[in-house]
Structure 1
Amino acid sequence: MFSLLIADDEALEREGLELMIRHLLPDTFTFLHAENGRRAIQLTEEERPDIIFMDIKMPGIQGLEAVRQIKATNPLTKIVMITAHDYFSYAKEGLVLGVRNYLLKPARREEVMDVLQLLIAEKEEERRLRNDQLELQERLSQLLPLAENELALLLMLESVQEVELEQLAGLLNLQWNRGYAMVLSFSKHSRKEWEEFQLAKRGVYEAVKQFAKPNLACITGPMIGYQMALFIPFFPERSGYSQRVISLDWGERLRSFVEERFKLSLSVGIGSIREGWDGISRSYREAVRVCADDNDIICVRHYEDITQSSGQKIISLDDEKKLMDALLRHDKQETAERFGMLYELLEQSEPRPFATLRGEVIGLLLFLCRGIQSGEGGELVSSLNALEDSVSFRRGAQAWLDSLIDGLQEKRERSRSHVLQRALLYIGQNYKEEISMEQTAEYVNLSPHYFSKLFKQHADENFIDYVTRLRMNEAKLLIMEERLSLKEICYEVGYKDPNYFSRVFKKATGITPSEYRQQMDKQSPC
């Protein structure tokens, strides 16, 4: 159903036009009448009609002026001017203003019908497009929180894939890639506190999100275990020191908000400001490292304050890279040695709670998970956070490193096995044709040099010997069948020169193809 406003100073004209349209298109319109331009403007503002039939010459506000004002506030309304021949020049001006069409008085039924059908089709298409747009917006509104969650998880678990991160940032319309992380750590010091947190967990998460996002323009991560992360943009107009003070102030506000509203203890760790998604992910690891222990008198701590004032030793990027390199080379001994050295470096820093040491080591392990593109970061955090003493924690961390290396080796073997199986299948399907090692290497997307080494390692023979063995075995079977000549068999198994085939056959079996056939004939019971 559509609404149609008829604006004409003659009541007889309005009623006649309505009667005509009701007859032409029954049950299609609801009708509104305006006797002048002022009333047409008022009804349009109140009722927002889909279509207006506007007489160009009316007392008071003329039709064209009414059109100008209506189009200013209701640009989607379809307007048809009705005019006599004397005012046709005005009708052309109306078209410039956005009038969709015009009719000459007295309007003929066919013309009215044509105009209305055209406008109805346009309005239906507009409604369809609008519905599609609203549906898309609804789906996008449901997708955006998932995209934000995914982006936060990639940063938290240090699975920094620049392409994926940029896509998610683009979807979220994020115009920043410089910032810092803030980690909220809820107390689990006593069983009672942990149970209270579990009961309030969902409400706490939503409340913190609603409190933080409008004020900090931040990305909020999911609640993992007893921690929640915020990723906050850096405002260029503020200095780094000023931003540090502001971030500490906001950390204190969040702590007070949670403790006052939910009666839960909260400690806050804040990382340093860093460039790029990789840097912001590192800031998260810093925030995890300095999350205050429940018993610490300082409940909101900034990484730069702690490292510059407490004398804590910081693991250098070079040390991290050397550990990563040992891990990627699957060298368990060197990995264990380097990890042990870094663990002791952290452990021997300024005395501090075990929870802080645990956060730093977990952050280091997350960095390694990211480097090898392991998806086990969430499980790592969950399992190691459950360990409450240094001995079992260090043993568990080392076990995780060993399992990461085992996983890498298994993945490599699976990958190599898969590549070899594809290569063997390709050879089996094509060895009767011209086939080369280079063709096969290209098929499995490896360089010829690497493929050659890999093939020999797993097949215990080189490529040429393997293909030759397949061809000779096939030739023996065909010779035994006695349905093809030796020359035909030569071509059948992939050779073009019978003499060359004969030499290869003799080298492989010790006798020529004809001698082999004679032997088979002698052994035949017939």
Structure 2
Amino acid sequence: MLKILIVDDEILERTALTKIINRSSEDVMVIGEAPNGRIAIEMATEHRPDIIFMDIKMPGIDGVQAVKAIKKINPSIRFIMVSAFNTFEYAKEVMQQGVKEYILKPSRKQDILAALERVCAEILEESKQREEQQSLRDNLDRAVSIAQKEWVSTVLVNQVQDITFDEWGQLLGVEITSGYIMLFSLRPKGMTELSADQKQNWYLWLKDTLNSVMMKQEMMVGPLTDSQVPVLFLCKKVTEKVHFKTNALAVIDSLNRLFEKKSYHAELRIGVGLPYNHAHELNKSYLEALMALQQMAKTPERKYLFAVKQGSAELSSSSEVLEIEKKLLEAVRQGDVNQVLFIFESFAEMLAEDKNIKGSSVKKAFDEMFILVSRMLHDLGISYERTPAIEESEDIMAIFEKGKAHLLAVVHQVQIWRNDHAKGMLHKAKEYIEIHYADSLTLEQVAEYVELSPFYFSKLFKDRFGMTFIDYLTEIRIKHAKAEMVDPGKSLKEICYSIGYKDPNYFSRVFKKHTGLSPTEFRKVTVG
């Protein structure tokens, strides 16, 4: 309801205006009357009306002076000027204050209500535009957050192919020169396991806190898996890479200080990988952060640990391992048993060729690989918690056999999921879209409904149906629009809103793109 203040030095004028306005609509209400400009300013400050009917000629502070004073206090208030003085100078002076409405005394009821209706419509239209703009900003923020989370996920499994630091820099409006991964881990105190709610609350706290302490640094927060969250930090200058430890320590110190004030009954541990110049190398930084976390298990008093740069020979060997892991993860994701066995044998042979390798080293390599497999399964929405029970004391061949058996069990689970669960979930998604096509539907909402990550839902949907989510949603909407156009009693604007579009011009462009005809042309051809 819009609030209105009446300002006039004549009590009869105020009373008459109040009656006319209060009886005109339930959407407006007179919340006060003022006999002069001074009181009008006081009441406007206290009650913050939406509209003020302002008499121009009043003793003391006149209407024009009052408008100027109130505009300084609250520029959003609208004014309808009322005066018996029909002179250009008065009109010109209030117009300079942005006042558009001007009615004369004695005022006719229809003139008063017409002016009020125009101002109300303007206020409501601006309010609607603000809501739509805020909605667009919220949707954009959410889309960017999802995109960043999914991109960090692809970094972890070394699937970065389609975007570079330069392209992210263009999106963010800054020059990105390198990046590194921090891996945050929440460990329970004592034997009590952390609940899902505790982990989720910590995850939300971590995101909010990072945003508040990051200052001028850029970062992307990845997904929560088990009790770990990877965060990609982007360096905007070469000097930031050189001094990345200083910047990282500032973030770590702030987080630890703020974390101590919370009562999570858990411990925060942070592993930090090295910075790299190319996006496809970030998987190395993630693995380094992961190894740093594992090394901290031997020194419980440590709260964070930076990865140590390896020698060139070790890096070469590490690159081979990373490439094999990448291929192995993709084969597991596809449920390809033969390819998994072939790649695993290559992995085992490469490790076995090292004469100095020990069982503990093989176990460590397998542990890291199975963490990546577990994260991939989590992203796919596959529940498979069992991990191979490998002891450091076991000989290398026994470790290889246990690792192979575990991978085969995982592949079997993926095959079941791909053949049954994923197929069922995708058809469930299609049904959901067909029911809710008229809503403001997003890929994220549908993915959440079928309990798949947006990244994999999008990929699986296109693989299964040969079109993207948005193409399918558009196809459904256009089909319903065509059906509704048969009814000549429905306007095109009404049809536009009924199928989920908010902008008739955008609807018209989409319709023409899909049918070759504008909505008006299509209706003429089909209905006549």
Equivalent residue for 1:338?
A: 346
Alpha-carbon distance in 1 for matches of 2:259, 2:78? 54
Give the letter for the 1:247 counterpart: A
- Structure 1 residues 100 and 325: alpha-carbon distance in aligned structure 2, compared to 1, 3 A threshold: same
Alpha-carbon distance in 2 for matches of 1:169, 1:312? 31
After superposition, residues 85-234 of structure 1 pair within 5 angstroms as 85-129=85-129, 150-160=150-160, 162=162, 178-186=178-186, 193-197=190-194, 201-202=199-200, 204-216=202-214, 218-234=219-235
Q: What TM-score does the superposition give when structure 2 sets the normalisation length?
A: 0.58
Gaps of 5+ in 2: 420-464, 467-528
After superposition, residues 251-266 of structure 1 pair within 5 angstroms as 251=252, 264=266
After superposition, residues 97-496 of structure 1 pair within 5 angstroms as 97-129=97-129, 150-160=150-160, 162=162, 178-186=178-186, 193-197=190-194, 201-202=199-200, 204-216=202-214, 218-236=219-237, 238-248=239-249, 250-251=251-252, 264=266, 267-275=269-277, 277-293=279-295, 294-296=297-299, 300-303=304-307, 305-307=308-310, 315-317=317-319, 320-321=322-323, 335-344=343-352, 356-362=364-370, 382-384=385-387, 387=390, 389=392, 394-399=400-405
Q: Render the CA deviation track for 1:361-402: whole Å, top value 9, x for unaligned.
A: 3477699x7xxxx98778699544765546565434445666
**Structure 1 residue 101: Cα displacement:** 0.9
**Structure 1 residue 98: Cα displacement:** 1.3
Alpha-carbon distance in 2 for matches of 1:379, 1:252? 36
Contact conserved, 1:286 with 1:360, CA < 8 A, in 2? no
- Structure 1 residues 131 and 223: alpha-carbon distance in aligned structure 2, compared to 1, 3 A threshold: closer
Alpha-carbon distance in 2 for matches of 1:27, 1:412? 55
RMSD over equivalenced CA pairs, Å: 5.3
Alpha-carbon distance in 2 for matches of 1:264, 1:49? 51
Q: Render the CA deviation track for 1:475-525: whole Å, top value 9, x for unaligned.
A: xxxxxxxxxxxxxxxxxxxxxxxxxxxxxxxxxxxxxxxxxxxxxxxxxxx
Alpha-carbon distance in 2 for matches of 1:73, 1:402? 71
Q: How many residues align?
A: 405
- Structure 1 residues 77 and 264: alpha-carbon distance in aligned structure 2, compared to 1, 3 A threshold: closer
Alpha-carbon distance in 2 for matches of 1:400, 1:239? 42
Equivalent residue for 2:445?
A: none
Equivalent residue for 2:452?
A: none
Alpha-carbon distance in 2 for matches of 1:213, 1:135? 21
**Structure 1 residue 96: Cα displacement:** 3.6
Aligned residue for 1:307, secondary structure, equals: coil
**Structure 1 residue 89: Cα displacement:** 2.7
Alpha-carbon distance in 1 for matches of 2:384, 2:417? 22
Aligned residue for 1:76, secondary structure, equals: coil
Aligned residue for 1:291, secondary structure, equals: helix
Give the letter for the 2:347 counterpart: F
**Structure 1 residue 99: Cα displacement:** 0.8
Contact conserved, 1:259 with 1:265, CA < 8 A, in 2? no
Q: Render the CA deviation track for 1:257-310: whole Å, top value 9, x for unaligned.
A: 76895564554321122356544444223311332331247653222x25259x
Give the letter for the 1:395 counterpart: E
Alpha-carbon distance in 1 for matches of 2:95, 2:327? 72
**Percentage identity across aligned positions?**
25
Contact conserved, 1:179 with 1:273, CA < 8 A, in 2? yes
Equivalent residue for 1:416?
A: none
Asked if residue 39 in structure 1 is aligned to residue 42 in structure 2, the reply is no
Contact conserved, 2:387 with 2:406, CA < 8 A, in 1? no
**Structure 1 residue 207: Cα displacement:** 4.8
Equivalent residue for 1:463?
A: none
Q: What TM-score does the superposition give when structure 1 sets the normalisation length?
A: 0.59
Give the letter for the 1:295 counterpart: K
Contact conserved, 2:388 with 2:406, CA < 8 A, in 1? no
After superposition, residues 12-51 of structure 1 pair within 5 angstroms as 12-22=12-22, 28-51=28-51
**Structure 1 residue 114: Cα displacement:** 1.7
Equivalent residue for 2:7?
A: 7
Aligned residue for 1:9, secondary structure, equals: coil
Alpha-carbon distance in 2 for matches of 1:10, 1:150? 67
Alpha-carbon distance in 1 for matches of 2:64, 2:355? 83
- Structure 1 residues 266 and 132: alpha-carbon distance in aligned structure 2, compared to 1, 3 A threshold: closer
Contact conserved, 2:220 with 2:231, CA < 8 A, in 1? yes
CA radius of gyration, larger in: 1
